[in-house]
Structure 1
Amino acid sequence: MGHIDDDSIWPSPVYGELAEELLRMGRRKTNVVAGARLEASAFAILWVLSDGRPRTLRDLSEELDLDQSTVNRQVNAAIRHGYLERFEVAGQVSRRLRPTPEGIEAFEHDGRIRADRLKRVFADLDPGSPEALLHELRAFNDAYERTVAHQGDPALRRA
């Protein structure tokens, strides 16, 4: 672990330590799961589609916050593996994407493996609870998204 001193760029040591922990989380290969069938990108796409609502390629790129060409490449790979299918909707120019039965089964399989790992992590975390972490992470992510969304607005920067 690095060292954050009082003369650093951070307003206080806790901000530097938070940044360090966020970087640590980003380096972790949380999407690499032993026994998983899906690549991380296919799991992420199937996660978005798990609400049962088909999406266009553009919808997926917006929800995943990825470039459309990247999502297109990932979708094509998932289609080749039999996890997704494209279909036409009458009166719509863009085709929609939905999981195949094989995709749903693989997603559920990998989801169970991931859930088991989370259960083991929380069993090792004492004190701590998934509910408390969820509450704080959700609040942090919401505030982060609001902050990033407002960065382009000069009036908000002066406030």
Structure 2
Amino acid sequence: MDEEIREDRLEEVGERVARLFVEIDSAKRVWDQGYQLGLAERRLIALLSDGQARTLRAISEEARLEQSTVNRQVNAALAAGLLERCRTAGSRAQLIAVSDKGLAAYRKDSVWGRRAFTSAMMELGEDDSTAFCELLERFADAYGHATNVQVHQVGAHDT
């Protein structure tokens, strides 16, 4: 009986968390309008911001995206001057790196992106912000594990 009550209660909490993430996503969509770069561009540049040029294949593998998706996104970012092609001596492979323009835009967007989070954390105060981050890290790990396990057990869309 206690286990049934606990499962029902945890299901209610899960629904509450899902609703909260919808609210956060709605606020984030409004906030995202202030970014200079699009989400795909930010993700590409974040991956490449370590200064290590990569092949399209390596980008695809690290980003866990189909190569055709990466090709399309990289070509758009190249055309916008956010990325650049380069070669290493003795290699025929073309590498992709972040351009100065792309890195500058990414840094500007990073400051913008942190602004709302910093403001919210300041409202919570140091102790609650620290506790929140620790719990959120644990939740993110648990959620990632749960989604990976469930996708592999029952398939992507089965219930």
Q: TM-score, normalised by structure 2?
A: 0.71
**SS class of match (1:103):** helix
**SS class of match (1:96):** strand
**Which residue number corresponds to residue 84 of structure 2?**
85
For residues 67-96 of structure 1, the C-alpha deviation after alignment (integer angstroms, 9 at most, x for no partner) is 322222111111111111122345656432
Task: Give the gaps of 5 or more residues in structure 1.
Answer: 1-5, 155-159
Task: Give the gaps of 5 or more residues in structure 2.
Answer: 155-159
Question: Residues 109-128 of structure 1: matches in 2 within 5 Å?
Answer: 109-125=108-124, 128=128
Question: Residues 1-159 of structure 1: matches in 2 within 5 Å?
Answer: 12-27=11-26, 28-29=28-29, 32-34=32-34, 36-90=35-89, 94-125=93-124, 128-129=128-129, 131-151=130-150, 152=152
**For residues 47 and 124 of structure 1, do their structure 2 counterparts lie closer, same or farther at Cα, with a shift above 3 Å needed?**
same
The answer (yes or no) to whether the contact 1:37–1:110 under 8 Å persists in 2 is yes
**SS class of match (1:82):** coil
The answer (yes or no) to whether the contact 1:33–1:114 under 8 Å persists in 2 is no
67-76 vs 133-142, which moves further? 133-142
Q: What percentage of aligned pairs have identical amino acids? A: 30
Q: C-alpha separation between the residues in 1 aligned to 2:14 and 2:146?
A: 16
Larger % of helix: which? Answer: 2
Query: What is the CA RMSD across the aligned residues, in angstroms?
Result: 3.0
For residues 28-77 of structure 1, the C-alpha deviation after alignment (integer angstroms, 9 at most, x for no partner) is 4177142x321221111111222222233233333333332222211111
**For residues 115 and 23 of structure 1, do their structure 2 counterparts lie closer, same or farther at Cα, with a shift above 3 Å needed?**
closer
